[in-house]
């Protein structure tokens, strides 16, 4: 780890900008921001043979480095944040899992302090307002209908830092809760749902704008019962979350989503749990025991997939090298789109003058070699300074 320089020029790399890729580009960092002009005699870091892309933005993440965002102490949460930063995620939303309402409200208060001091970008409540038919790695005993009053309780506990709620909108109170969230500028995401096609369309019309980890924890596509996946893919108002870890999605399913929705409607996420960046073993996801073996997390009881051990540098690498998604489209999905959804695109999500100096350096094979956040190297690339 290294400190911040007052001025640095990163030169020679392929730089991915909103307008396209610049060969042999230059990115100037002044303090914490990207600058339009270079200071005289500023040190130049030669990154020839590399790519420079914007820092990754993860809007759905439950933990990492052995730490849980749902149950960890403040120091443990920060350990999880640092773990993902070292893998390129410079902006991160902390996701909770289903728990008792009072417990979730208490967690919201703790996490909101970390948002206020700039370590997190917001809070995502995944559960308890989800379907028992599609609960995944959530405790069925703690699930409840999405009562707008209880949704409001968690919003209030988060003190303006709640960014997203995942809801099974077909349940009683679901549509009313979507409207409440939309009125307050909080993302209503459809997920862990057993909704029909028609019920999903109703939720979108009410203001839902995100599909929580599309394909997972929802009915599949049927030719007579197209279900939520079809409704979510076809509506231009919906951004599609995808977990590109090779376990949650077949490459063909990921390709279908990109082909049908387009890169501008995809957000690559991790849905990571404690084991991300930490290793195999036995973990807790909320009240449920999870076994991680060969990097795949599954519930001890029932064997359901229980989040992922993914980091976004791996998701980026897979998208380009295995799924053959163009680099510029992957950058859109992993940085720009989630930044827009979270309302922080004026600060992060692209390499533009005036924005935070959040960036990732990749080698020619798209392996992570450097990470900068607000002008400070989290991971310094091994390159020549002149």
Catalytic residues: 271
Torsion of CA 122, 86, 363, 313, to 10 degrees: -50
Tokens in use for 74? 């403040």
Closest CA to 17 of 302, 350, 313: 350
CA distance 359 to 214: 27
**Bond from prior residue into 128 cis (ω within 30 degrees of 0):** yes
Residue 38 DSSP code: P
- For residue 213, give every residue at least 6 positions away whose Cβ sits within 8 Å of its Cβ, in sequence order, or none: 60, 191, 241, 242, 243, 248, 269, 271
CB 84 within 8 A of CB 272: yes
The span from the CA of 66 to the CA of 88, in Å, is: 18
Residues 143, 137: Cα–Cα separation, whole Å: 12
């Amino acid at each position: 780890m290294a400190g911040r320089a007052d001025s640095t020029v990163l030169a020679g790399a392929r730089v991915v900008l909103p307008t396209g890729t610049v060969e042999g580009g230059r990115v100037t960092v002044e303090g914490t921001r990207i600058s339009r002009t270079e200071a005289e005699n500023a040190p130049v870091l030669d990154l020839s043979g590399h790519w420079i892309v914007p820092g990754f933005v993860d809007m759905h993440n439950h933990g990492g480095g052995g730490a849980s965002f749902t149950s960890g102490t403040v120091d443990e949460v920060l350990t999880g944040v640092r773990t993902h930063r070292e893998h390129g995620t410079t902006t991160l939303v902390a996701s909770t899992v289903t728990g008792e309402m009072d417990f979730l409200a208490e967690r919201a208060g703790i996490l909101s302090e970390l948002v206020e001091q700039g370590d997190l970008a917001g809070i995502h409540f995944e559960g308890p307002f989800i379907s028992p038919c599609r609960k995944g790695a959530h405790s069925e005993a703690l699930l409840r209908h999405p009562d707008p009053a209880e949704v409001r309780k968690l919003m209030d506990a988060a003190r303006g830092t709640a960014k997203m709620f995942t809801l099974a909108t077909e349940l009683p109170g679901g549509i009313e809760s979507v409207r409440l969230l939309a009125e307050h500028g909080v993302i209503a995401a459809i997920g862990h749902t057993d909704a029909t096609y028609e019920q999903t369309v109703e939720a979108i019309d009410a203001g839902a704008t995100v599909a929580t980890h599309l394909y997972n924890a929802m009915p599949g596509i049927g030719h007579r019962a197209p279900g939520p996946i079809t409704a979510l893919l076809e509506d231009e108002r919906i951004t599609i979350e995808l977990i590109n870890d090779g376990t949650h999605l077949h490459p063909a399913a990921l390709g279908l989503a990109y082909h049908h929705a387009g890169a501008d409607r995809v957000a690559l996420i991790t849905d990571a749990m404690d084991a991300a960046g930490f290793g195999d073993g036995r973990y807790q996801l909320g009240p449920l025991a999870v076994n991680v073996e060969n990097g795949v997390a599954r519930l001890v009881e029932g064997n359901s997939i229980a989040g992922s051990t993914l980091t976004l540098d791996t998701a980026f690498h897979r998208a380009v090298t295995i799924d053959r998604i163009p680099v510029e489209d992957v950058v859109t999905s992993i940085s720009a789109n989630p930044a827009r959804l979270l309302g922080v695109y004026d600060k992060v999500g692209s390499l533009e003058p005036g924005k935070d100096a959040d960036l990732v350096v990749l080698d020619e094979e798209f392996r992570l070699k450097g990470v900068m956040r607000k002008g400070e190297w989290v991971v310094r690339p091994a390159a020549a300074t002149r």
